[in-house]
Each structure stands twice: as structure tokens, then as C-alpha cells.
Structure 1
Amino acid sequence: MNSQSKLTRPEAMIFDMDGTLFQTESVLLPAYHKLFDTLRSEGLYTSPTPPEERMLGSLGMLLEDIWKVVMPDGSQEAHNRANELLLQLELEGLAGGGTLLYPEVKTTLESLHQQGVKLFVASNGLEHYIDGIVETHELVELFDGLYSAGKQGTLSKVDLVKMLLEQEKLQSAWMVGDRSSDVEAGKKNGLGVIGCAYAGFGNHDELKGSDVLISSFPELLELYKKAIPNT
């Protein structure tokens, strides 16, 4: 754990999903390869499948922006079809079993929930994808709300977190995530930011500006315990 400042104990924690709670590659990579096989079979894409690293490095972006990075040579029709296929294939993968949360995510969330911390998800992903992960891994009862760009129609993580804070009438919260978009969303909304340095999808500068960096999810419990109580 790398602590740069003393945090105030929050009434809520807001979590990114991919690379923070959920080991995205456990469902994404099989779906990714099937997606491009399908695009080629449908005549919408003729090039080889782009490197996996290009997709993993784009996690945290809005889906429409991901395809511009992953297959810039693809048509708008191919991008639109890729949106449909990715959700379909990921939901099939979740239903098929074998997908993974990061170690001790569920027990850590249960402990925070029992201590009265309100828990939320704020993700740039699609609504049914986020719902699918939460349902598959039996986390439904732990969360007070699931916010996603796909459901809320926001154009940035900053806007999504702002909407969450306003709708839930939260006075204090920590933003917990693994990408620069999470850091930006937390800082621009006046939140403490916990950077998750265990996923390894982004570059070394992704989490610059975080208040604290953690190398495993359960470290949140100690951070919460040591935080300055709200007066």
C-alpha cells in the first residue's frame, strides 16, 4: 500500500468494474477472439484479429472509443456489429461460468457493507454487462446502486460519478479504480481516490494523482479503519 495523504472516512465507496472488481480478461479474451471470427465470417472485417494488448489497454474507455483504437481500419458498420457481439458473447461467457473476481473482492465488500458503507459501481461499460457480472458473482445484495455509461447515457466517467453523487445525495465518498478516467472522475468530483495497481492493463501513469495506491483489494479494509472519522 502506498499512502500519499490521510483520507477522511467516507459514507460510500464507488467502484469501477473492469480491472477493479472483475478480472475482465476471464470473460473478455475468449469473447474477443470469437467476435473477430464472426466479423470476418460476416464479411465486415478482413484483417487479422488485432493484438489482445490493444483491447486490454483500452479498458476504461467508452465502447465507441474502444473500437476506434482496436480496429481503426474497421467501418462504422463493423464497429456497431462489434458492440452487439461483444455484449452477447460476454453474457454467454458469464452464464457459462469460470469468470473471476479479484481475490477477496466479495469478502471485502461484505465487510464494508456490514460496517455501513454504501457501495456503488460506476462503469463506462454496458448496463447488461455490469448487471451480468454482479448477478453471476452474487453481489446484488451488497450494492446500493449500479451506474453505467450504457444505462445513464453519460459521455465521461466524470459525468457519471457526478450524476451518482447527486442522485444518491452522498456527502462523502471514495472513488476506487484502476484507470486514469477513475482518478479524473474522483478528483473532479472532490472525492478521495484509491488507485488499484494490481490489474496491470494500463501504463505506469494511469494512477498518477491517486491519494493511495493499493496492490490488493482487501487493503481497502485497513484504509477505511485508519481513515479520519467524519465529524
Structure 2
Amino acid sequence: MHPTLQKPEAMLFDLDGTLFQTETLLLPAYHATFDQLRAEGSYTGETPPESEILGGLGMLLEHIWQRVMPGVDEQVHRRADVLLLDHQVQGLERGEGRMYDEVEATLKALRDRGIRLFVASNGLEPYVKGVIEHKGLSPLFEGLYSAGEFRTRSKVDLVRMLLETYGVQSAWMVGDRSSDVEAGRENGLAVIGCDYAGFRKEGELDGADVRIGRFSELLELLPKEADKANE
């Protein structure tokens, strides 16, 4: 049983590992990126293990490449930015990538309850907006915020900017990484930790108010307004 939290005005969602099964799009693009880097002569050696990039999800992209390719020239990292994004966008256009189970139905149910929905992601703008648009979810969201678009240095700053811009007074931060927990805590939000992606390190969600094992459990955390109305 989960505790019932106070109904928020809005919910802010991380994208990768929260709404979107990132590996279903990322890993083919990751291998294609390194194939192209080698073909261009800007990288030699084997493709780093998939665990390196999956373990970096939730970080800013520049920090991900420092983890995946330490000691490699920054120009190669910036070229990898371009290639990875291109391959992911092409994959989306081919219909690749999957949302987690019940994401669309749950988001619609939250909207029906009058909750405003937003995305707050450390990803690049074309990727974040591309995933939501290609999966047909754009009409459900009031705003899609990405570190790539707003050049924020942390998710704390990104979330603060979103809350101020849209005049949100109460919200839940929903995500799967320590950056989501920090962003929620630093901005005075309830934090819902998504415990189903498996990309994080042990202890990353320790600061969350509640952990959920499937996305649809969000609905169980809300007060039963419909039940009261029928009494």
C-alpha cells in the first residue's frame, strides 16, 4: 500500500527511464554512432559497454560522454552529440522506441483529474520533443522542458524555471534518477521515484517520498475524489 498524497496542481516527468523505455531507441543509435565515429577516423577502439551510457542516463549529455569516453578530445564528444541525436531521430521516424506500459492511459487519467502535465528532462530539445511528438503524446502536455533548449546546468534550475514560467504552486516531480530527487527536493516538490528502469545506482531514490514499480501506480497515490463524489 502506498500513502495517499495531497493532489498536486501539476506533475513534472523525467523522460528517460520514467515515461520512455530509453534503451529501445538509444542502444541501436549508440552503436551506429560509434560505427560512424570510427568510419570518420575520430575514434578508434571498441564501442564502450552499453552499461556505460545506460548508467549515465539522467546526466547532461556532456557528462555522459565524459563517462563513456574519458580522455577523448571534447570535439569528438560534440560530434558524438550530433550523431547520436541524428540516429535517434531517424529511429523515431522509423517507429522505433517504446513508452512504458500504461503511460498514455495514465497520463490521460491524470489530465482528466485536472492535473497539469509537464516534461522536465536533461536531454537535447529535438530528442525530448521528438519522443513525445512521435509517440502521439504532445496534446497531453502543457510544456516540454529540456536542458538542451534552456541551457540549464542542472535539473534543479530547469524545474525552477518551469515552475516560475507556468506559475505552478504545487507539483510532484516524477523520475528515476538522483537528479530528479534533487530537483524535486530543492524546489519544494513531492518526489515520486520510478523504480522500474534499472539504470540507476543503488541509493539514488533514497530521498523520494514514494517509490512506484509501474507507471500506473501514480493514480493510486491520489485521493479518491470520484469515490467521495458518489457517496
Which of residues 125, 140, 144 in structure 1 aligns to 2:123?
A: 125
Question: How far apart, in 2, do the equivalents of 1:62 and 1:202 lie?
Answer: 15
Query: Does the aligned pair in 1 maintain the 2:6–2:223 contact within 8 Å?
Result: no
Query: Does the aligned pair in 1 maintain the 2:5–2:223 contact within 8 Å?
Result: no
Query: Does the aligned pair in 1 maintain the 2:58–2:122 contact within 8 Å?
Result: yes
Residue equivalent to 1:95 = 93
CA RMSD of aligned residues (A): 1.2
Question: How far apart, in 2, do the equivalents of 1:115 and 1:7 lie?
Answer: 14
Q: Give the counterpart letter for 1:186 in structure 2.
A: G
Query: Does the aligned pair in 2 maintain the 1:44–1:77 contact within 8 Å?
Result: no
Residue equivalent to 2:173 = 175
**What do the CA deviations read for 1:41-72 (whole angstroms, capped 9, x no partner)?**
11111021000000000000000111000010
**Could you tell me the TM-score, scaled by structure 2's length?**
0.95
SS state of the match for residue 99, structure 2? coil
SS state of the match for residue 213, structure 1? strand
Change (3 A) 1:114 1:6: closer
**What do the CA deviations read for 1:99-138 (whole angstroms, capped 9, x no partner)?**
1000000000011011110000000000010111011110
Residue equivalent to 2:66 = 68
Query: Paired residues, what number?
Result: 225
Residue equivalent to 2:134 = 136
Residue equivalent to 2:42 = 44
Question: How far apart, in 1, do the equivalents of 2:67 and 2:96 lie?
Answer: 28
Query: Does the aligned pair in 1 maintain the 2:52–2:67 contact within 8 Å?
Result: yes
Question: How far apart, in 2, do the equivalents of 1:47 and 1:185 lie?
Answer: 37
User: Which consecutive unaligned segments of at least 5 residues does structure 2 have?
Assistant: 226-231
Identical aligned pairs, as a percentage? 60
Question: How far apart, in 1, do the equivalents of 2:160 and 2:192 lie?
Answer: 17
Q: Following TM superposition, by how much is the alpha carbon of 1:98 offset from its aligned partner in structure 2, in angstroms?
A: 3.0
Moved over 6 A (4+): none
Change (3 A) 1:74 1:226: farther
Question: How far apart, in 2, do the equivalents of 1:79 and 1:21 lie?
Answer: 26
Q: Give the counterpart letter for 2:23 in structure 1.
A: E
SS state of the match for residue 121, structure 1? strand
